[in-house]
């Protein structure tokens, strides 16, 4: 596994996920979030969308996975924050681009952008902290 000395300010990482037709339903089954806006296209349209929208927390899970892959261990993710700025819809391809912005002691700071296939930001202000101490 990566050690603290293997992390460098300026490192970049990338993670891409596609929202296939059933993804909101799979995520509902695993997370317990069966809000009809994620299940029923008619409800999604009533709320002003093209159909169902993906659970924000699924996008957040992808953001988390992007950071975990860079950090090397799920237990190293210490903190994660993001604002949801645009709904994610079926057919969207979300690209996460992360960067290590600082290392203080054993804390690794990350900033991540998340854009859809049109280049529109679906998250803003996404930041994470990892703990890279030798456990």
Partner 1 sequence: MPIDRRHLGRRYGPFVFAVGLQHVRDFAAATGGGVPGRVFSSPPDRAHPLTWDEGAARAGPHGGLVAPPAFATTFAMEPFAQACSDPDLRVDVLRLVHGEQELEFVEPVRPGDVLTTTGEITRIQERGNLDFLEVSSTTTNQHGRVVVRGVWTAIVRN
* 39 in contact with partner 1 (CB under 8 A): no
Question: Do 103 and 7 form a contact (C-beta atoms < 8 A)?
Answer: yes
Judged by CB, which is closer to partner 1: 9, or 46?
46
Own/partner contacts of 51-55, CB < 8 Å, gap of 24 or more, are 51/89, 51/90, 52/24, 52/89, 52/90, 53/24, 53/87, 53/88, 53/89, 54/19, 54/23, 54/24, 54/27, 54/87, 54/88, 54/89, 54/90, 54/92, 55/24, 55/27, 55/28, 55/31
Options 47, 91, 93, 102; binder of partner 1; rule CB under 8 A: 47
Residue 23 in tokens: 């993804």
User: What part of residues 55-94 is at the interface with partner 1 (CB under 8 A)?
Assistant: 56-58, 60-62, 64-65, 68-69, 73-75, 77-84, 87
Closest approach, Cβ 19 to partner 1, in A, equals: 11
Judged by CB, which is closer to partner 1: 10, or 134?
134
User: What part of residues 5-24 is at the interface with partner 1 (CB under 8 A)?
Assistant: 15, 17-18, 22-23
Closest approach, Cβ 120 to partner 1, in A, equals: 16
Query: What SS3 class is residue 15?
Result: strand
Binding site for partner 1 (CB under 8 A): 1, 15, 17-18, 22-23, 26-27, 29-33, 35, 37, 43, 46-47, 56-58, 60-62, 64-65, 68-69, 73-75, 77-84, 87, 135
């Amino acid at each position: 596994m990566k050690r603290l000395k293997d992390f460098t300010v300026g490192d970049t990482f990338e993670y891409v996920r596609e929202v296939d037709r059933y993804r909101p339903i799979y995520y509902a089954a695993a997370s317990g979030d069966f809000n009809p806006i994620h299940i029923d296209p008619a409800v999604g349209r009533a709320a002003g969308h093209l159909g169902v929208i993906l659970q924000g927390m699924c996008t957040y899970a992808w953001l988390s996975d992007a950071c975990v892959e860079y950090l090397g261990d799920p237990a190293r993710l210490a903190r994660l924050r993001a604002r949801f700025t645009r709904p994610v819809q079926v057919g969207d391809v979300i690209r996460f681009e992360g960067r290590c912005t600082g290392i203080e002691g054993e804390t690794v700071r990350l900033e991540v952008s998340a854009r859809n296939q049109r280049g529109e930001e679906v998250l803003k202000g996404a930041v994470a902290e990892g703990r890279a101490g030798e456990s």
